[in-house]
A = this chain, B = another copy of it.
Amino acid sequence: MKYSNQTRLLVAVDCIIFGFDGTDYKLLLIQRGFAPEKEKWSLMGGFVQPDESLDEAAERILKQLTGLHDVYMEEMQAFSQPDRDPIERVIAVAYVALIDIEKYQTQINDDFHARWYSIKELPNLIFDHKEMVEIALTKLRYKAAFHPILFELLPEKFTLPQLQAMYEGLYDTKIDKRNFTRKVLSTKLLKKENDKDKSSSKKGAFYYSLDEDHYKENFTNIHNFIPRNEIPAGVE
Protein backbone atom coordinates (compact mmCIF):
# COMPACT_ATOMS: atom_id res chain seq x y z
CA MET A 1 0.00 0.00 0.00
CA LYS A 2 1.26 3.42 -1.00
CA TYR A 3 -0.02 6.98 -1.00
CA SER A 4 -1.39 7.50 -4.49
CA ASN A 5 -1.06 10.37 -6.88
CA GLN A 6 1.80 12.07 -5.09
CA THR A 7 5.12 13.08 -6.49
CA ARG A 8 8.20 11.58 -4.94
CA LEU A 9 11.39 13.57 -4.77
CA LEU A 10 15.07 13.13 -4.26
CA VAL A 11 16.20 14.15 -0.81
CA ALA A 12 19.83 14.92 -0.14
CA VAL A 13 21.93 15.89 2.82
CA ASP A 14 24.66 18.51 2.46
CA CYS A 15 27.33 18.85 5.12
CA ILE A 16 28.77 22.21 6.02
CA ILE A 17 31.99 21.21 7.71
CA PHE A 18 33.81 23.91 9.63
CA GLY A 19 37.31 23.81 11.01
CA PHE A 20 39.62 26.32 12.64
CA ASP A 21 43.37 26.32 12.09
CA GLY A 22 44.35 28.73 14.84
CA THR A 23 43.92 31.76 12.65
CA ASP A 24 41.14 31.22 10.16
CA TYR A 25 37.85 29.41 9.92
CA LYS A 26 37.91 26.80 7.20
CA LEU A 27 35.28 25.03 5.20
CA LEU A 28 35.85 21.56 3.84
CA LEU A 29 34.86 21.44 0.19
CA ILE A 30 35.01 18.79 -2.45
CA GLN A 31 35.43 18.92 -6.16
CA ARG A 32 32.29 17.44 -7.56
CA GLY A 33 33.01 14.30 -9.51
CA PHE A 34 29.91 14.10 -11.67
CA ALA A 35 27.66 16.23 -13.82
CA PRO A 36 26.21 18.74 -13.54
CA GLU A 37 28.89 21.17 -12.40
CA LYS A 38 31.58 18.47 -12.59
CA GLU A 39 34.83 19.65 -11.02
CA LYS A 40 33.20 22.67 -9.44
CA TRP A 41 33.55 23.13 -5.71
CA SER A 42 30.74 21.89 -3.60
CA LEU A 43 29.70 20.91 -0.12
CA MET A 44 29.93 17.22 0.53
CA GLY A 45 26.51 15.74 0.10
CA GLY A 46 24.59 12.67 -0.85
CA PHE A 47 21.15 11.29 -1.37
CA VAL A 48 19.20 9.87 1.50
CA GLN A 49 18.99 6.12 1.21
CA PRO A 50 15.80 4.14 1.81
CA ASP A 51 16.91 2.68 5.11
CA GLU A 52 18.44 5.69 6.81
CA SER A 53 17.24 8.80 8.55
CA LEU A 54 18.60 12.22 7.63
CA ASP A 55 20.86 12.20 10.67
CA GLU A 56 22.21 8.84 9.63
CA ALA A 57 22.73 10.01 6.09
CA ALA A 58 24.63 13.04 7.34
CA GLU A 59 26.84 10.87 9.52
CA ARG A 60 27.53 8.49 6.68
CA ILE A 61 28.47 11.32 4.38
CA LEU A 62 30.68 13.00 6.93
CA LYS A 63 32.45 9.73 7.64
CA GLN A 64 32.92 9.06 3.96
CA LEU A 65 34.74 12.33 3.50
CA THR A 66 36.60 12.80 6.76
CA GLY A 67 36.90 9.34 8.24
CA LEU A 68 35.41 10.81 11.42
CA HIS A 69 32.44 9.73 13.44
CA ASP A 70 31.02 10.97 16.74
CA VAL A 71 31.38 14.48 15.49
CA TYR A 72 29.39 17.49 16.57
CA MET A 73 26.81 17.92 13.84
CA GLU A 74 23.27 19.13 13.68
CA GLU A 75 20.52 19.76 11.25
CA MET A 76 20.45 23.33 10.11
CA GLN A 77 17.78 23.98 7.52
CA ALA A 78 16.14 22.54 4.44
CA PHE A 79 16.68 24.06 1.02
CA SER A 80 13.84 23.34 -1.27
CA GLN A 81 13.51 25.74 -4.17
CA PRO A 82 12.15 23.51 -6.93
CA ASP A 83 14.82 24.64 -9.38
CA ARG A 84 17.84 24.64 -7.08
CA ASP A 85 19.32 21.67 -8.92
CA PRO A 86 19.14 22.02 -12.70
CA ILE A 87 19.04 18.26 -13.33
CA GLU A 88 16.12 17.33 -11.21
CA ARG A 89 14.35 18.56 -8.15
CA VAL A 90 16.28 17.72 -4.99
CA ILE A 91 15.36 18.82 -1.50
CA ALA A 92 18.54 19.31 0.47
CA VAL A 93 18.75 19.29 4.23
CA ALA A 94 21.88 21.11 5.34
CA TYR A 95 23.82 19.87 8.35
CA VAL A 96 26.54 21.81 10.13
CA ALA A 97 29.52 19.96 11.55
CA LEU A 98 32.35 21.33 13.67
CA ILE A 99 35.51 19.27 13.61
CA ASP A 100 39.01 19.43 14.94
CA ILE A 101 40.90 20.13 11.78
CA GLU A 102 43.83 18.07 12.99
CA LYS A 103 41.71 14.98 13.21
CA TYR A 104 40.73 15.18 9.59
CA GLN A 105 42.47 12.50 7.61
CA THR A 106 42.68 12.44 3.91
CA GLN A 107 41.08 9.20 2.93
CA ILE A 108 43.11 6.33 1.56
CA ASN A 109 41.86 7.19 -1.85
CA ASP A 110 40.98 10.82 -2.03
CA ASP A 111 37.99 10.28 -4.25
CA PHE A 112 36.57 13.63 -3.53
CA HIS A 113 39.53 15.93 -4.02
CA ALA A 114 38.64 17.66 -0.81
CA ARG A 115 40.26 20.88 0.31
CA TRP A 116 39.99 23.21 3.24
CA TYR A 117 39.15 26.72 2.15
CA SER A 118 39.32 29.75 4.38
CA ILE A 119 35.82 31.13 4.73
CA LYS A 120 37.23 34.47 3.68
CA GLU A 121 38.36 33.08 0.34
CA LEU A 122 35.72 30.67 -0.74
CA PRO A 123 35.59 29.64 -4.37
CA ASN A 124 32.35 29.73 -6.29
CA LEU A 125 30.10 26.97 -5.09
CA ILE A 126 27.51 25.03 -6.99
CA PHE A 127 23.77 25.50 -6.69
CA ASP A 128 22.75 27.30 -3.50
CA HIS A 129 25.69 26.09 -1.44
CA LYS A 130 27.00 29.59 -0.96
CA GLU A 131 23.72 30.62 0.64
CA MET A 132 23.84 27.54 2.84
CA VAL A 133 27.28 28.48 4.10
CA GLU A 134 26.30 32.06 4.81
CA ILE A 135 23.25 31.01 6.77
CA ALA A 136 25.31 28.44 8.62
CA LEU A 137 27.86 31.05 9.62
CA THR A 138 25.22 33.44 10.87
CA LYS A 139 23.58 30.72 12.90
CA LEU A 140 26.92 29.56 14.21
CA ARG A 141 27.70 33.08 15.41
CA TYR A 142 24.38 33.20 17.16
CA LYS A 143 24.60 29.84 18.80
CA ALA A 144 28.24 30.08 19.78
CA ALA A 145 27.49 33.27 21.68
CA PHE A 146 25.41 31.27 24.15
CA HIS A 147 26.61 27.69 23.99
CA PRO A 148 30.11 26.26 24.27
CA ILE A 149 30.15 24.59 20.88
CA LEU A 150 33.30 26.09 19.43
CA PHE A 151 35.41 23.81 21.62
CA GLU A 152 34.57 21.15 19.07
CA LEU A 153 36.93 22.91 16.70
CA LEU A 154 39.92 22.68 19.03
CA PRO A 155 42.23 19.81 19.86
CA GLU A 156 41.99 18.23 23.29
CA LYS A 157 44.46 20.63 24.77
CA PHE A 158 44.38 24.28 23.90
CA THR A 159 45.46 27.56 25.43
CA LEU A 160 43.39 30.55 26.43
CA PRO A 161 44.94 32.74 23.74
CA GLN A 162 44.00 30.11 21.15
CA LEU A 163 40.49 29.98 22.51
CA GLN A 164 40.16 33.72 22.40
CA ALA A 165 41.52 33.89 18.86
CA MET A 166 38.85 31.42 17.84
CA TYR A 167 36.07 33.59 19.23
CA GLU A 168 37.59 36.74 17.85
CA GLY A 169 37.87 35.10 14.46
CA LEU A 170 34.24 34.09 14.32
CA TYR A 171 32.94 37.52 15.20
CA ASP A 172 35.75 39.42 13.53
CA THR A 173 36.26 41.49 16.64
CA LYS A 174 38.73 42.08 19.44
CA ILE A 175 37.76 40.98 22.91
CA ASP A 176 39.36 42.17 26.13
CA LYS A 177 41.68 39.44 27.38
CA ARG A 178 40.88 39.87 31.05
CA ASN A 179 37.14 39.88 30.61
CA PHE A 180 37.21 36.94 28.23
CA THR A 181 39.36 34.85 30.52
CA ARG A 182 37.15 35.59 33.48
CA LYS A 183 33.98 34.65 31.64
CA VAL A 184 35.40 31.46 30.21
CA LEU A 185 36.85 30.25 33.48
CA SER A 186 33.67 31.10 35.36
CA THR A 187 31.81 28.52 33.27
CA LYS A 188 33.81 25.80 35.04
CA LEU A 189 34.03 24.01 31.72
CA LEU A 190 37.81 24.04 31.63
CA LYS A 191 40.53 22.17 33.45
CA LYS A 192 43.97 23.71 33.64
CA GLU A 193 46.76 21.39 32.58
CA ASN A 194 50.27 21.48 33.97
CA ASP A 195 52.12 21.95 30.74
CA LYS A 196 52.48 24.88 28.42
CA ASP A 197 52.34 25.52 24.73
CA LYS A 198 55.53 27.37 23.93
CA SER A 199 55.09 27.47 20.19
CA SER A 200 53.89 31.02 20.07
CA SER A 201 55.59 32.79 22.93
CA LYS A 202 58.62 32.64 25.10
CA LYS A 203 56.65 32.61 28.27
CA GLY A 204 54.39 29.88 27.02
CA ALA A 205 50.66 29.58 27.63
CA PHE A 206 49.17 26.95 29.88
CA TYR A 207 47.11 24.29 28.22
CA TYR A 208 43.51 23.80 29.21
CA SER A 209 41.19 20.95 28.39
CA LEU A 210 37.49 20.41 28.69
CA ASP A 211 36.25 19.12 31.98
CA GLU A 212 34.13 16.46 30.30
CA ASP A 213 31.70 15.97 33.15
CA HIS A 214 31.05 19.65 33.60
CA TYR A 215 30.95 20.07 29.85
CA LYS A 216 28.17 17.57 29.38
CA GLU A 217 26.23 18.82 32.38
CA ASN A 218 26.54 22.47 31.55
CA PHE A 219 26.53 22.21 27.79
CA THR A 220 22.99 23.44 27.46
CA ASN A 221 23.27 26.28 29.93
CA ILE A 222 23.12 29.74 28.56
CA HIS A 223 26.56 31.23 28.59
CA ASN A 224 27.75 34.57 27.46
CA PHE A 225 31.07 34.27 25.73
CA ILE A 226 31.12 37.43 23.73
CA PRO A 227 30.02 41.02 24.28
CA ARG A 228 26.34 41.54 23.63
CA ASN A 229 26.75 43.92 20.77
CA GLU A 230 28.63 41.32 18.76
CA ILE A 231 25.77 38.87 18.70
CA PRO A 232 24.35 38.90 15.20
CA ALA A 233 20.82 40.14 14.89
CA GLY A 234 18.42 38.52 12.52
CA VAL A 235 18.76 34.94 13.64
CA GLU A 236 16.64 32.63 15.64
Cβ–Cβ < 8 Å partners of A9 in chain B: 8-11, 48, 50
Total A residues in contact with B, Cβ cutoff 8 Å: 42
Contact indicator B3/A88 (Cβ below 8 Å):
yes
A107-115, A167-175, A193-201, A226-234 - interface stretch:
A226-234
Copies of this protein in the assembly total: 2
Cβ–Cβ < 8 Å partners of A53 in chain B: 80-82
A47 to chain B: closest residue by CB: B6
Interface assignment of A130: CB less than 8 Å from any CB of chain B: no
Contact indicator A234/B222 (Cβ below 8 Å):
no
9 A-B pairs with CB atoms under 8 Å apart are A7-B50, A8-B8, A48-B80, A48-B91, A54-B78, A54-B91, A220-B235, A222-B228, A222-B231
Point out residues on A near B: beta carbons under 8 Å: 1-3, 6-11, 47-55, 74-75, 77-78, 80-82, 87-91, 93, 143, 147, 220-222, 228, 231, 233-236
